[in-house]
Chains A and B, each alone.
Chain A
């Protein structure tokens, strides 16, 4: 330390202790049953009204997924995200999104490339876990209109809004799996590390899209989530020891909650 350098300190007061409680864990569901459930669920989404689904969601305890199931689920979401970017990027040069400012186009292409890397990288991990990435398929024509109830590729503002919602849900989806991967112990360590590596990239993307909306389109939005209504998942959890209602803490979403959101899109 230089001789002229002076130290200083900032005082604070210790706050009261609050005890943490751990979230309860649900029973393990077999993989076969799970896939059957997902298929059935998607078929049901074609016929059941959204409100009926919503009523049954809060009662369902979060599923305990194996690391392999987490990767299969993540790969599904990444394929969907990559396809969303692909469809948007198609419109950048001469299409409906050609009026986006150049920095926004560069960002969208860059984020799309990132998602494009997540797909093969997660596929490789899934193979290592004994799974088959080629069996994780999404419909050829996802119904992206389900995000905003209108065509998200029709104009830049709607595209950015839909993209923000997709990325924010992606962040919450990865966050929602960290406890499952932790619970798997050593068997989940590598997948947990990989999921964490992706989780904050999704957050950077979400924040980047929010930046673009604020800067170029005057949207009343910030890189972080200020209001629960900005996102499609349940941002606030009243009974959690984590103060999710505060904007300094990002919410999570369970797989069932995320599938309820993306189900109508995957139904095609």
Chain B
């Protein structure tokens, strides 16, 4: 575990990195050590089936979201002022969630932000244009909602479940907000659900349909994240098995 004495926040580092942009030429300016480290070894992300594992899992999702928004803002594809302001505010929230979860986890965090290896080609695809960026934001936020919901009943610590609750409704507001920018309804039609009704875990989903945000298992969430092709790290552990 690397506890750097430096006081700078992950947010600031993300911004600093984001300044190099995502173009092919710009990628050449990413420090060669980072690329070398990534190509030599990808740290597996391990999520245990307990509160700590769930918080690490939440941290992983928040890291993805926070990084996505930094890159989305740097992409130059979001030119509308209102849309830019929304993504900026949402990105700040996600960075705050990252910071909070790292504070809560402390030494129990199983990976550092810099252990995450992102796929440049995957990010290029989701940052292709304004529509793709906003729809990816919706997909990430909806995934976050279903992930926090799904993990909620497994949490044992009362403060953790309240914290998860205080985060998940903000994720839902994000989704609805970006959906509004796209002219999409705030709630998900069943056809938009990443996990079809027949694959839902019945005990976790007493209700389903547009009027409900179904509970997805961490394993189902990992499959959704994998489909975005933006993370290279292998993922394992009892929580996602």
Chain A residues near B (Cβ < 8 Å): 1-2, 4-18, 20-23, 103, 106-107, 110-111, 113-115, 117-118, 121, 125, 171, 175, 178-179, 182-183, 189-190, 192-194, 196-208, 210-211, 215, 222-224, 241-244, 246-252
Contact = CB atoms under 8 A, between A and B. Distances in A.
Interface string B101-142: 011101101001111111111100000000000000000000
Nearest to B43: A9
B30 A8 contact: yes
Interface of B: 1-4, 6-10, 13-14, 17, 27, 30, 34-35, 37-39, 42, 63, 67, 86, 89, 92-94, 96-100, 102-104, 106-107, 109, 112-122, 145, 149, 152-153, 155-163, 165-177, 180, 183, 185-187, 203-215, 232
15 contacts: A12-B112, A15-B103, A16-B103, A110-B187, A189-B153, A200-B149, A200-B171, A203-B172, A204-B213, A207-B176, A208-B180, A243-B100, A247-B93, A248-B94, A249-B100
B162 A178 contact: yes
A182 B177 contact: no
A14 B109 contact: yes
Contacts of A215: 180
Contacts of B30: 6, 8
Contact of A182 (B158, B167, B172, B211): B158
Contacts of B67: 10
Residue among B165, B172, B206 with most chain A CB within 10 A: B165
Contacts of B153: 182, 189, 192-193, 196
Given A193-B203, A197-B207, A8 B158 contact: no
Residue among A5, A9, A204, A210 with most chain B CB within 10 A: A9
B157 to A, nearest CB: 7
Contacts of B167: 248-250
B205 A193 contact: yes
Contact of A199 (B9, B27, B165, B177): B165
Contact of A117 (B6, B63, B109, B209): B209
Closest 8 A/B residue pairs (Cβ): A12-B10, A17-B106, A7-B38, A12-B113, A223-B177, A208-B186, A207-B176, A211-B180
A15 B99 contact: yes
B165 A10 contact: no
B108 to A, nearest CB: 9
A6 B89 CA distance: 29
Contacts of B14: 10, 12
Given A7-B232, A18-B104, A203 B169 contact: yes
A181 to B, nearest CB: 9
A199 B169 contact: yes
Given A8-B118, A12-B114, A250 B203 contact: no
Residue among A5, A12, A201, A248 with most chain B CB within 10 A: A12
Given A205-B186, A223-B173, A249-B167, A193 B215 contact: yes
Given A14-B109, A224-B173, 8 more contacts: A11-B10, A118-B211, A125-B206, A193-B153, A204-B173, A205-B176, A224-B174, A249-B96
Contacts of B4: 13-14
A13 B6 contact: yes
B127 to A, nearest CB: 14
Interface of B is mostly: helix
A262 B8 CA distance: 45
Nearest to A117: B211
Given A17-B103, A222-B177, A243-B100, A11 B35 contact: no
A90 B37 CA distance: 63
Contacts of B89: 222, 224, 247
A171 B145 CA distance: 14
B102 A7 contact: no
B10 A201 contact: no
Contacts of A18: 103-104, 106
A193 B146 CA distance: 11
Contacts of B159: 20-23, 241-242
Contact of A175 (B96, B166, B211): B166
A121 B205 CA distance: 12
B95 to A, nearest CB: 8
Contact of B176 (A9, A11, A115, A204): A204
Contacts of B9: 12-13, 15
A179 B162 contact: yes
Given A17-B107, A248-B170, A190 B206 contact: yes
Contacts of B102: 12, 14-15
Contacts of A244: 166
Given A12-B113, A15-B99, A7 B42 contact: yes
